[in-house]
Structure 1
Amino acid sequence: MKSLISRIVGGFIIGMMIGQIVQIIISFKLGQREYMPVVDHFRSFFVSETAAVIVQILLTGIIGVTFATSSLVFEKAKWSLLKQYIVHFCITALVWIPIATLLWMPNTSMSTLIFFISFLSTYVVTWVIQYMISKNDIKKINAAIRSNQLEERDDE
C-alpha cells in the first residue's frame, strides 16, 4: 500500500513537472518570446487563465499517475510479456492521448491521428528495446543456470 501511494504521489509530481516543461517548450514555439501558461484553445474552455492553469496542472498530474501506476502490469508474473505491453499501452494511450490532445494539440482529426501514430511509434520502439534487453537477460540467466548445473554435476 505504501508503495502504491508513493507511486501515485511521485507520479503526480513528476507529471506536473513534465507538463510544465512541455508548456515552456510550447511557449518558445508559439509564445512570441512570452511565456504562455496554457495554449489559447485550452484557455478558451475556462472563465479565467488561472482556472485553465489549475486544470492543466491536475491533468498533467493524472498523466504522471497513470504512467507510474500502469507499470504495475509488468509485475503480473502470470501474464505474457506481450499481454503486459498491450494492457499497459491501452491504459496509457486512453489517458495520455485525450489529455495531451486537449492540452496542447490543435483540434483537428489529422493532428489527433498524427499524435496517435507518434505515440504508437514511440511505444513500439520502446517495446522492441525492452524486448531485446529482456531476451538478453534471459540468455544470461539460462547460461548461469546451465553453468551452475554443470558445477553441481562435477561435484558429484
Structure 2
Amino acid sequence: MVTDLNSFTEQFQLSDQAININDIPWIPQSDRVWFKPLRFDLTTGSWINLLKVKPGGAVNRHRHTGGKVMAYTLQGQWRYLEREWVATAGSYVFEPPGDIHTLLVDGDEEMITLFILEGSIQYLDDNDQVIKQDDVFSKMKLYYDYCEQNNIPIKELRF
C-alpha cells in the first residue's frame, strides 16, 4: 500500500492539459454571437468558454440556475441591460445563481470574455417563461455538431 500522499494522488488524479485554443473553432450561438468551448466538466455540469459578441450583438434575457457564473473580459466591453455597470477589458464579473439579465455589446469593439458557468442557462420570454435552455451537454453537442458538419477535428475537452 502506498502511504506517501503524492504517490497516492498520482494514481488517481486527472492528467494536466494544455490545449491550443486556436485549434478550437468559434461556434455560432446566435446572430453576432459565438462561443469557443475550453472545457466540459460532466461531473459537475460546468463548462468554460470564450464568448465573442460583435457590436450590436446580444445574448437574450436569461437566468442562470444550479450555480454561479464568473467572467473575465479580455477585449471590448459589455453590460447587462438590467444593470448600471459596464465590464471592460480586465473586468471580473460574478453572477449568483438565479440572476436574470440580458447581455449587450453596444460599444464599437468586438467583445471577448472568458466565462466559467455552472448549472444551466434558461432563456426567458417577456412573461418569464423558459423558451430554451442550455447546459454542459447542449453546449457540448453544439461543438460536436459544428465540428462534424465542418470537417474539423474534435478536441477532447471533457476533463
TM-score by length of 1: 0.24
Higher helix share goes to which structure?
Answer: 1
TM-score by length of 2: 0.24
| Greater RCO (Cα-Cα under 8 Å, separation 6 or more) | 2
| Larger Rg belongs to | 1
Higher strand share goes to which structure?
Answer: 2
